[in-house]
Amino acid sequence: MLSLPKNFETFNEARQKSFMALYQAKERGKKIIGTFCSYTPVEIIHAAGAIPVGLCGKSEQGIAEAEAILPKTICPLIKASYGMAITDQCPYFYFSDGILAETTCDGKKKMYELMGKIKPVHVMNLPQSKDQALAIDAWTEEVKRAAKFLEDLLHVSITPEKLHDAIVYRNRLRRAIVDLYEVAKIKPSPVSGYELSTVAESADFHFTDDDLIAKIEKTTRDFKARTRNDGANRPRVLITGCPNAGVRDKIIKRLEELGADYVCADTCSGPRVQKFMIDENADPYRAIAERYLKINCSVMTPNEARFDDIKDLVKEYQVDGVIEIVLHGCHTFAVEAYTTMNIIQNELSMPYMRLDTDFSQSDGGQIETRLGAFIEMMIAA
Ligand code: BJ8
Q: Are residues 130 and 173 in the same domain?
A: no
Mutate to test the pocket of ligand 1, among 35, 36, 242 (most ligand atoms within 8 A of CB): 242
Q: What is the mean pLDDT of residues 91-111?
A: 95
- Residues 307-330 pLDDT 10s: 999 999 999 999 999 999 999 999
Q: Which of 123, 138, 157 is the last residue of a domain?
A: 157
Cβ(158) to ligand 1 under 6 A?
no
Q: Which of 131, 157, 183 is the last residue of a domain?
A: 157
Q: Are residues 34 and 130 in the same domain?
A: yes
pLDDT-based confidence at residue 16 (cuts at 50, 70, 90): confident
Q: Are residues 137 and 172 in the same domain?
A: no
358 C-alpha to ligand 1 centroid (Å): 14
* Nearest atom (ligand 1) to Cα of 330: 8
Domain annotation covers residue 192: yes
Domain annotation covers residue 183: yes
Nearest CA to ligand 1 atom 10: 37
* Nearest atom (ligand 1) to Cα of 242: 7
CATH number of 245's domain: 3.40.50.11900
Find the domain containing 19 and state its range: 8-157
3-state secondary structure the chain: CCCCCCCHHHCCHHHHHHHHHHHHHHHCCCEEEEECCCCCCHHHHHHCCEEEEECCCCCCCCHHHHCCCCCCCCCHHHHHHHHHHHCCCCHHHHCCCEEEEECCCHHHHHHHHHHCCCCCEEEECCCCCCCCCCHHHHHHHHHHHHHHHHHHHHCCCCCHHHHHHHHHHHHHHHHHHHHHHHHHHCCCCCCCHHHHHHHHHHHHHCCCCCCHHHHHHHHHHHHHHCCCCCCCCCCEEEEEECCCHHHHHHHHHHHHHCCCEEEEEECCCCHHHHCCCCCCCCCHHHHHHHHHHCCCCCCCCCCHHHHHHHHHHHHHCCCCEEEEEEECCCHHHHHHHHHHHHHHHHHCCCCEEEEEECCCCCCHHHHHHHHHHHHHHHHHC
* The pLDDT of residue 56: 81
Q: Which of 105, 123, 157 is the last residue of a domain?
A: 157
Q: Are residues 270 and 352 in the same domain?
A: yes
Domain annotation covers residue 3: no
Amino acid letter for position 337: A
| Res. 347: pLDDT tops 80 | yes
pLDDT-based confidence at residue 20 (cuts at 50, 70, 90): confident
274 C-alpha to ligand 1 centroid (Å): 16
User: Rounded to two decimals, what is the model's pTM?
Assistant: 0.94
Cβ(268) to ligand 1 under 6 A?
yes
Domain annotation covers residue 2: no
Domain annotation covers residue 359: yes
Beta-carbon count within 10 A of 256 CB: 18
Q: Are residues 240 and 143 in the same domain?
A: no
Nearest CA to ligand 1 atom 8: 330
Nearest CA to ligand 1 atom 6: 105
Contact indicator for 379, 234 with CB cutoff of 8 Å: no
pLDDT-based confidence at residue 355 (cuts at 50, 70, 90): very high
304 C-alpha to ligand 1 centroid (Å): 17
Mutate to test the pocket of ligand 1, among 100, 108, 204 (most ligand atoms within 8 A of CB): 108
Percent of the chain with pLDDT over 90: 78
- Residues 184-241 pLDDT 10s: 999 999 999 999 988 888 776 666 566 889 989 999 999 999 988 776 789 999 999 9
* The pLDDT of residue 331: 97
Q: Are residues 217 and 271 in the same domain?
A: yes
Q: Are residues 80 and 148 in the same domain?
A: yes
Cβ(55) to ligand 1 under 6 A?
no
* Nearest atom (ligand 1) to Cα of 297: 12
Cβ(243) to ligand 1 under 6 A?
yes
306 C-alpha to ligand 1 centroid (Å): 14
Q: Are residues 172 and 138 in the same domain?
A: no
Q: Are residues 151 and 257 in the same domain?
A: no
Q: Are residues 203 and 243 in the same domain?
A: yes
Q: Are residues 19 and 80 in the same domain?
A: yes
Domain annotation covers residue 1: no
CATH number of 71's domain: 3.40.50.11890
117 C-alpha to ligand 1 centroid (Å): 22
* Mean pLDDT, the chain, integer: 93
* The pLDDT of residue 25: 85
Q: Are residues 282 and 337 in the same domain?
A: yes
* Nearest atom (ligand 1) to Cα of 104: 4
Nearest CA to ligand 1 atom 16: 105
Domain annotation covers residue 308: yes
Omega into 188 within 30° of 0, i.e. cis?
yes
Length of the chain: 381
- Residues 286-299 pLDDT 10s: 999 999 999 999 99
Cβ(58) to ligand 1 under 6 A?
no
Domain annotation covers residue 87: yes
- Residues 110-121 pLDDT 10s: 999 999 999 999
Domain count, the chain: 2
